[in-house]
């Protein structure tokens, strides 16, 4: 199976690999997928008080397309507002990375990871009140 140049670029030079302090009130963590399925993504976002994503980090267990999808979305969501980040759809990721049909689930996972990380942040904020 041939990977697109964009997948290879993100696989070889992944952006924003790492972890943020998950206990930080400004950090939201999303952990999606399952080891038994061969894909797990951990996406973390650090969100400012005015609702802007100032930092994003990821770690991914999965194939090249899964790693590239998570790397790409960290790049995309950085600097965006929560609302803007939630508007990113898996289709955008799949199209940009030219994922073949069998790899579409990687982009779905990436979209889920954004939603899950933001939801975690929001529940932390609600808990504070």
Partner 1 sequence: MKEKKQIYLDYQATTPCDPRVVEKMMPYLSELYGNAHSRTHDHGWQAEQAVERAREQVAQIINASPKEIIFTSGATESNNLAIKGVAEFYKDKKKHIITCKTEHKCVLESCRWLERNGFDITYLDVETNGLVNLNTLKKAIRPDTLLVSIMAVNNEIGVIQPLAEIGKICRENGVFFHTDAAQAVGKIPIDVEAMQIDLLSISGHKLYGPKGIGALYVRRKPRVRLVSQISGGGQERGMRSGTLPVFLCVGLGEACAIAEKEMATELEKIQELSDRFQAKLEEKLPQIYLNGDAKQRYPGNLNISFAHVEGEGLMMGIKNLSVSSGSACTSASLEPSYVLKSLGVDEELAHTSLRIGIGRFTTKEEVDQAAEDIIAAVSHLREMSPLWEMAQAGIDLKSIQWSGH
Q: Which residues are catalytic?
A: 37, 106
> In angstroms, what is the minimal distance from the CB of 35 to partner 1?
4
Kindly tell me which of 19 and 48 has the beta carbon lying closer to partner 1.
19
Name the residue nearer to partner 1 (CB basis): 54 or 102: 102
Per-residue CA distances from 14 to 18, 105, 106 (Å): 10, 19, 15
Question: CB under 8 Å to 107, separation ≥6 — which residues?
Answer: 69, 90, 91, 93, 94, 97, 99
Euclidean distance between CA atoms 51 and 126, whole angstroms: 14
Site residues, partner 1 (CB under 8 A):
1, 3, 8, 11-12, 14, 17, 19, 31-42, 59-64, 66-67, 102, 105, 108-109, 112
Report the nearest approach of partner 1 to the CB of residue 44 (Å).
10
CB of 39 to partner 1, least distance (A): 7
In the complex with partner 1, the residue whose CB is nearer, 52 or 115, is 115
């Amino acid at each position: 199976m041939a990977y697109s140049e964009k997948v290879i670029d993100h696989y070889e030079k992944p952006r924003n690999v790492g972890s943020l302090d998950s206990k930080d009130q400004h950090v939201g963590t999303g952990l999606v997928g399952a080891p038994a399925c061969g894909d797990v993504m951990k996406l973390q976002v650090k969100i400012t008080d005015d609702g802007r994503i100032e930092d994003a980090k990821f770690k991914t267990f999965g194939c090249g397309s899964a790693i590239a999808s998570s790397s790409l979305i960290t790049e995309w969501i950085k600097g965006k507002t929560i609302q803007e980040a939630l508007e990113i759809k898996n289709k955008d990721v799949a199209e940009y990375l030219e994922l073949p049909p069998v790899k579409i689930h990687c982009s779905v996972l990436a979209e889920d990871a954004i939603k899950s990380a933001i939801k975690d942040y929001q529940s932390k904020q609600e808990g504070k009140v």
